[in-house]
Amino acid sequence: MARQPPERDNAPAVQKLRLRYAKRGRLRFTSHRDIQRALERALRRAGVPMAYSSGFTPHPKISYAGAAAMGAASEAEYLEISVTERLDPDRVRAALDAALPPGLDVVDVVEAAPGALADVLQASEWAIQLPDVSAGQAGDAVAALMAKGEVEVERMMKSGPRRFDARGPIVRLAADSGQTTSGAPCAILRLVVRHATPAVRPDDVLTALRQVAGLTPPVPPLVTRLAQGPLDPESGTVADPLAADRASVDDAVAANPHPR
Amino acid sequence: MSAEPMTTVAAAGAADTVESVFPQLEALLPLVQKPIQYVGGELNAVSKPWQSTTVRWALMYPDAYEVGVPNQGVQILYEVLNEQPDVLAERTYAVWSDLETLMRQHDVPQFTVDAHRPVGAFDVFGLSFATELGYTNMLTALDLAGIPLQAGERGDEHPIVLAGGHAAFNPEPIADFIDAAVIGDGEQAALEITALIRDFKAEGSPGGREQLLMRLAQTGGVYVPAFYDVEYHDDGRIKRVIPSRPGVPWRVSKHTVTDLDAWPYPKKPLVPLAESVHERASVEIFRGCTRGCRFCQAGMITRPVRERSITGIGEMVEQSLQATGFEEVGLLSLSSADHSEIKEVAKGLADRYEGTNTSLSLPSTRVDAFNIDLANELSRSGRRSGLTFAPEGGSERIRKVINKMVTEDDLIRTVTTAYGNGWRQVKLYFMCGLPTETDDDVLQIAELAREVIKTGREVAGRKDIRCTVSIGGFVPKPHTPFQWAAQLDHETTDARLMKLRNVIRDDRQFGKSIGFRYHDGKPGIVEGLLSRGDRRVGRVIEAVWRDGGRFDGWSEHFSFERWMRCADQALADLPVDVDWFTTREREFSEVLPWDHLDSGLDKDWLWEDWQDSLNEVEVDDCRWTPCFDCGVCPQMGTDIEIGPTGKQLLPLTAIGAGAEALRG
Ligand code: SF4
């Protein structure tokens, strides 16, 4: 007898939730796969009624938006889950956050408005801490880079080395002075970069700074994604990508103030 | 590389607080492979302020994090110790060479992953040795921790280095490097040792390290190698092992936990962020095994059988799932189908978790149809796992030698049932190098496999069924009837395996349906040296480590050439060599290096069982036939603890805490 996919009550998805989570402290060393595993377990542990794909090895329906690389911290990572029961997003946030290890923190959950999450995640804002580099040094390098129209860098991808322009997608780049966690003075770069293919990451910008101005940080920099969302090209700022979802829920509530 | 102690750490206990080394480590992590393995922060990990505790343990599984973190022994001790309000237990694992090099360059000591505290600052550095191949990793950890390698060179400021785990049943090869060893179940023993250290520190640590070790030794349950002298005959054999000072017992006893239901650990299994070798929660359903397979050290040293009750198992499974979110629970033991109520356990759990995408697995290699019923039952709730059967020996004769009571008919009937139930693939485990074995015994494995495929094709009605033959090299172990046996040299092992491979490969009718997996015989010789070695093997371990030997359990890091070269040099002025420790048969009268460590097994009984083995006489299981006087129960004051309890697993009614919070 041939093996059939196991029969399960694969309840249909009735609600889509969008989550914003942070990757903090020592957990910045998690890879995307590590986070996927942790999240799937946390969803089970929190008892979130996930919708599953069908087949021999059913998977919970989760879609991830481009994740920050291993080693980078983030205050603004996003994903979407489908559930088989209507849930209060705030309760999901609290339950899921409690089920994840400290350092993987669920910051925000909203019910998804129509449209793709990827469409609103147009740009990222990053802070790049450069220990043992002065703000002056960093500022000079930034000026040199921003003066160029195009700077080609090379990065190792799974498919092999790839060359691409790291300057074009940079919307804003500025150097400031700051302090490391241990209180030492350091330079801090603020970067706003448009999402392109391939995505230009902070390490590509650092490569570009080295190529253009010879800036070579003596210690590995500490990178943090501060925000992701729609880009306002005028001001060069990144807005809240979940604002539209919240607004559409507010509309629904206004139209029907007593659901159920 | 430098083997100088590289950091001075705060004196244990004297320091009010101990700084985390994470800031220094953090700068190194972007430069190494898989940094996540060094950061800790797992779900269910514990952190405590240093000052709030009085007795502090650093627990190490001396292998890579991905192998060490799922280890049940360490997880149990970690939880049992941390449940004590004034006790701190943190975990540490072996660091890979990329980080080791950086740590040496930047003076970062061996650290715990929980709070990144230096291992050298703890009261006890406990290492759990599931296998002997972790010994070189222990030396790296000691050295990185700034703890002198030689126990005799340590002072009051250093932790007590304590070995446990199955390999500790013969700790003699590492006697120079450890301060103490505990054999048997660790949870109760760890609490007793903790209580002793707590009192000792409260008294102001009178007499320092030496006196603390003396107090531990006097319990009769902690082995302190430095308190025993070993004398040798001119030919290299041990003459005697004697306590070197008054008050030290002649023999040290193993620890046996009874009433497993009273020890439901781990209650909150660790959920690592990094990928590990076992992505599941584990519930131990019983300890011990009295099937009496003569090669099996685990079975011999964990007697008698002590079961967890069906209801205890049910509670632990549910609690683990709630605490972890794992998709799979393994029902662990040495032979899980042997639990007196396993059928009820399997049915009860399958009923409870049907439709929840929760897989239940049960490691059992018993060659009978019941095993397949269990697998069928368990696959109702989740994925269907593979089927593995372990006849262990290829011929009827050799199976009598090893006391594996399986006939060829049993095997064929069992796999027929498997293929008939829709399995397309089965795995068969065998060993090579067993006492009295000839080429013919091993070549019969091919016969068996052919017969399996032939009948399998008939019952399945199709040709695409497979069987995989997996062969491990036999290594004689202490505290087994084969502790006297000659280990087969690696050349003969390899030659025998090649003959078998050729026979299978050349079989035109069935060969393509038979997979063949084996390891070469060389690592087994090193394992044999470390298993049955005595104190003189310590210098070999140190020489290998100084030569760069690390992670010997990993084939890509293991170097047979290095072990043999270092052994030749280190043992050059002694009447013994690697062959002497491995391929030499021992006589009854010989003093074995582990004779003063009491596993409860009566040496006379082991010898009789060895003679029975040579005469191809089998012995039954004391769970369903009368006691055969192996000695353990009277010696240790224990009893078999098995069901049936007659209880049932009721459906789960309460919904999980998480689910409640979600819906309000
Ligand atoms: S002493 Fe008897 S009952 Fe106890 S484990 Fe040995 S054979 Fe079994």
CA A155 to chain centre: 20
Residue type, B658: G
Of A112, A138, A164, which one is at a domain's C-terminal end? A112
Query: How close is the Cα of B630 to the center of ligand 1, in Å?
Result: 5
Q: Is residue A10 part of a domain?
A: no
- Decide: B605 in ligand 1 pocket, CB within 6 A: no
Residue type, B513: S
Q: What DSSP designation does A31 have?
A: -
A99 and A186: one domain? no
Residue closest via CA to ligand 1's atom 3 equals B627
Residue of B22, B29, B36 to mutate, interface with A, max A Cβ within 10 Å: B36
**What secondary structure, in 3-state letters, does B56-100 show?**
EEEEEECCCHHHHCCCHHHHHHHHHHHCCCCEEEEEEECCCHHHH
Query: How close is the Cα of B72 to the center of ligand 1, in Å?
Result: 26
Query: What confidence score (pLDDT) does residue B430 get?
Result: 97
- Report the distance separating Cα B290 and Cα B282, nearest Å: 22
Q: Is residue A239 part of a domain?
A: no
- Which element (helix H / strand E) includes B525? helix B522-531
- Residue A92, helix vs strand vs coil: helix
- Report the distance separating Cα B547 and Cα A207, nearest Å: 39
- Residue B362, helix vs strand vs coil: coil
pTM for the full predicted model: 0.93
Query: What confidence score (pLDDT) does residue B664 get?
Result: 63
Token pair of A129, please?
């801490």
- Report the distance separating Cα B300 and Cα B293, nearest Å: 8
Q: For position A185, which CATH number holds?
A: 3.30.70
Query: What confidence score (pLDDT) does residue B12 get?
Result: 42
Could you tell me if B465 and B424 are in contact, meaning their C-beta atoms sit under 8 angstroms apart?
Answer: yes
A102 and A159: one domain? no
- Decide: B627 in ligand 1 pocket, CB within 6 A: yes
- Decide: B606 in ligand 1 pocket, CB within 6 A: no
Range of the domain at A87: 15-112
Query: How close is the Cα of B647 to the center of ligand 1, in Å?
Result: 26
Test B41 with A101 for CB contact under 8 angstroms: yes
Closest CA to B324 of B39, B657, B660, B43: B43
Closest CA to B12 of B121, B117, B142: B121
Closest chain A CA to residue B660: A47
Query: How close is the Cα of A103 to the center of ligand 1, in Å?
Result: 50
Could you tell me if B578 and B567 are in contact, meaning their C-beta atoms sit under 8 angstroms apart?
Answer: yes
- Which element (helix H / strand E) includes B468? strand B466-473
Of A85, A112, A139, which one is at a domain's C-terminal end? A112
Q: How many angstroms separate the first and last alpha carbons of chain B?
A: 60
In sign, the C-alpha dihedral spanning A222, A226, A230, A232 is negative
Query: What confidence score (pLDDT) does residue B653 get?
Result: 63
Answer with the residue of higher pLDDT: A252 or B607.
B607
Q: How many angstroms separate the first and last alpha carbons of chain A?
A: 47
Q: For position A30, which CATH number holds?
A: 3.30.70.580
The count of structural domains within chain A is 2
Q: What is the maximum span of chain B, computed from C-alpha positions, in angstroms?
A: 78
Name the phi and psi angles at B175, rounded to 5: -60, -30
Best residue among B256, B301, B640, B642 to mutate for probing ligand 1, ranked by most atoms within 8 Å of CB: B640
Per-run averaged pLDDT (10 residues), chain B, 664 residues:
39 63 94 96 94 97 97 97 98 98 98 98 98 97 98 98 98 98 97 98 97 98 98 98 96 97 97 89 96 96 97 96 92 94 94 87 84 84 78 96 93 90 91 97 96 93 93 97 98 97 94 94 97 98 98 96 98 98 98 98 97 96 92 94 92 62 74
Test B35 with A91 for CB contact under 8 angstroms: no
- Which element (helix H / strand E) includes A187? strand A185-194
A131 and A107: one domain? no
Length of chain A: 260
Query: What confidence score (pLDDT) does residue B656 get?
Result: 53
Residue type, B255: H
- Decide: B290 in ligand 1 pocket, CB within 6 A: yes
Token pair of B243, please?
């306590």
Test A45 with B323 for CB contact under 8 angstroms: yes
Q: Is residue A1 part of a domain?
A: no
Closest CA to A129 of A53, A188, A45: A188
CATH number of B280-385+600-664: 3.30.750.210
Residue from the list A31, A41, A88 with its beta carbon closest to the beta carbon of B271: A41
A157 and A200: one domain? yes
Query: What confidence score (pLDDT) does residue B379 get?
Result: 80
- Report the distance separating Cα A147 and Cα A145, nearest Å: 5
Query: How close is the Cα of B628 to the center of ligand 1, in Å?
Result: 6
Sequence-ordered list of residues with C-beta below 8 angstroms from that of B633, at least 6 positions apart, any chain: B303, B304, B600, B627, B639, B640
- Decide: B291 in ligand 1 pocket, CB within 6 A: no
Token pair of B563, please?
């072990």
Residue of A1, A7, A37 to mutate, interface with B, max B Cβ within 10 Å: A37
A77 and A150: one domain? no
Query: What confidence score (pLDDT) does residue B5 get?
Result: 38
Asked if residue A10 has pLDDT above 80, the reply is: no
A103 and A173: one domain? no
Residue of A44, A96, A222 to mutate, interface with B, max B Cβ within 10 Å: A44
Could you tell me if B392 and B366 are in contact, meaning their C-beta atoms sit under 8 angstroms apart?
Answer: no
- Decide: B256 in ligand 1 pocket, CB within 6 A: no
CA B269 to chain centre: 18
Test B27 with A220 for CB contact under 8 angstroms: yes
Asked if residue A6 has pLDDT above 70, the reply is: no
Give chain B positions within 8 Å (CB) of A9: 355
Could you tell me if B63 and B94 are in contact, meaning their C-beta atoms sit under 8 angstroms apart?
Answer: yes
Asked if residue A3 has pLDDT above 70, the reply is: no
Residue closest via CA to ligand 1's atom 4 equals B633
- Decide: B95 in ligand 1 pocket, CB within 6 A: no
Among A64-68, A155-159, B360-364, B593-597, top mean pLDDT goes to B593-597
Class at the top of the CATH hierarchy for domain B6-253: alpha beta
Query: How close is the Cα of B419 to the center of ligand 1, in Å?
Result: 37
A95 and A21: one domain? yes
Query: What confidence score (pLDDT) does residue B444 get?
Result: 96
Residue type, B588: F
- Which element (helix H / strand E) includes A222? strand A222-229
- Report the distance separating Cα B516 and Cα B428, nearest Å: 10
- Least Cα separation, residue A46 to chain B (angstroms): 4
A198 and A223: one domain? yes
Among A44-58, A209-223, B507-521, the range scoring the smallest mean pLDDT is: A44-58
Domain residue spans of chain B: 6-253, 280-385+600-664
A19 and A70: one domain? yes
Of A112, A139, A171, which one is at a domain's C-terminal end? A112
Query: What confidence score (pLDDT) does residue B387 get?
Result: 87
